[in-house]
Amino acid sequence: MPDNTQHIFYERHMPHYQPHDATYAVMFRLAGSLPAEVIQQLKAEREEYRRFVSGMVDDKRRNELLREHAVQHFEKFHALLDEETKGPQWLKQPEVAEIVAAAMHHWDARAYEMLTYCIMPNHVHLIFSIGSASTVPLPDHPLKGQTP
């Protein structure tokens, strides 16, 4: 029977949830892949929406709206990354993409089970599962010493 224990820790003032036997979708991007003013605008829009719904009495509805907005926010962020052609695009170079792919494959079947990934010119998508079969303890991290 899977261990459904959920670890919660905070990093940069944001809650992080790490349930055992979970599948994660991660996206990371190159520094400078979006102009700083675009990032600031996205942050401002997110904060403005949070302030807008913060006064709602119905917690369930407020959380529902925040989740919907988070999805829309991510979709907008991702669309901007896909459209951006002026920032760094090192991942377009096969030799650089191969280094990134090799780094992700290094931990496959050791710390996680990599399900799929996609290397774009300025960002990467990775989907992986962490289960009880993992044998690698977490590195310097609030959960160090625990096996994911």
pLDDT in tens, 59-99: 999 999 999 999 999 999 999 999 878 889 999 999 999 99
Q: What is the percent of the chain with per-residue pLDDT over 90, rounded to a whole number?
A: 51
Residue 72 confidence (pLDDT): 92
Give yes or no for residue 52 having a pLDDT over 50: yes
pTM, two decimals, is 0.71
CA distance 50 to 123: 27
Separation CA 107–CA 119 (nearest Å): 17
* Average of per-residue pLDDT across 42-58: 92
Looking at residue 130, its pLDDT comes to 82
Query: 9-13, 58-62, 95-99, 141-145 — which is least confidently predicted?
Result: 141-145
Q: How far apart are CA 42 and CA 50, in angstroms?
A: 12
Phi, then psi, of 6 in degrees rounded to 5: -120, 120
Q: How confident is the model at residue 22 (pLDDT cuts 50, 70, 90)?
A: confident
Domain ranges of the chain: 1-31+89-148, 34-83
- Look at residue 13 in the predicted model and tell me its pLDDT: 61
Query: 114: which strand partners?
Result: 128
Q: What is the pLDDT of residues 116-141, one digit of tens each?
A: 999 999 999 999 988 754 555 555 54
CA pair distance 107, 148, nearest whole angstrom: 13
pLDDT for the residue 17: 64
